[in-house]
């Protein structure tokens, strides 16, 4: 079994989509490790605020099979994939890490580069996996968060915001 970290986000009925997705992920993978839920403004387009969190799972699926399973969860939650990188989302689930594996295989990049780019990914990851080491940099996620310059990426924790 491999420890994988997932990033979940929604800005279309997130108060419904995120708890529903967490219940489905729990059915698929068993016990989940869930960060707080954070709210942030849409990046790259004008739209409703996003709710984001990070979820840890244990899986025996390969990275490719895991991503396929996550795409099916998204689809069941009304996600329609469009060519636009930045657009409203009913549910977005990204595979952030897969153990300590480093992989660049077409659409699958591990660890995912969004970890170092977006506060809404790195902060919840540092919250639940702060002592784990990001394999490309050799730094912990807590160290990466401490060095992160997020002045233009405001986000705030949703009080009582845990998806389970």
Q: Where are the domains of the chain?
A: 2-157
Q: Residue-wise over 57-80: b if at least 16 C-beta within 10 A, else e? A: bebebebeebbebbeebbeebebe
Q: 159 versus 136: which is more confidently predicted?
A: 136
Q: What is the pTM of this model?
A: 0.92
pLDDT of residue 153: 87
pLDDT of residue 80: 73
Architecture of the CATH domain 2-157: 2-Layer Sandwich (3.30)
8 A C-beta contact, residue 57 and residue 29: yes
Q: Is the pLDDT of residue 101 over 70?
A: yes
Task: Place 161 in a pLDDT band, splitting at 50, 70 and 90.
Answer: low
DSSP string, 70-103: HHHHHHHTT----S-SS---S-EEEEEEETT--E
For residues 138-152, average pLDDT: 91
List the single range of 14-18, 127-131, 147-151 with lowest mean pLDDT: 147-151
């Amino acid at each position: 079994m491999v420890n994988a970290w997932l990033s979940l986000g929604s800005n279309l009925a997130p108060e419904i989509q995120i708890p529903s997705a967490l219940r489905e992920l729990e059915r698929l993978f068993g016990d989940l490790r869930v960060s707080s839920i954070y709210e942030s403004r849409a990046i790259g387009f004008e739209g409703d605020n996003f709710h984001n969190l990070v979820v840890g799972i244990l899986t025996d699926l390969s990275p490719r099979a895991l991503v396929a399973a996550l795409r099916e969860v998204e689809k069941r939650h009304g996600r329609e994939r469009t060519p636009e990188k930045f657009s409203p989302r009913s549910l977005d689930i990204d595979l952030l890490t897969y153990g300590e594996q480093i992989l660049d295989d077409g659409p699958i990049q591990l660890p995912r580069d969004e970890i170092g780019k977006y506060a809404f990914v790195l902060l919840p990851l540092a919250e639940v996996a702060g002592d784990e080491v990001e394999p490309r940099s050799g730094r912990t996620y807590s160290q990466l968060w401490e060095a992160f310059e997020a002045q233009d990426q405001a986000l705030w924790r949703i009080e009582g915001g845990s998806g389970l």
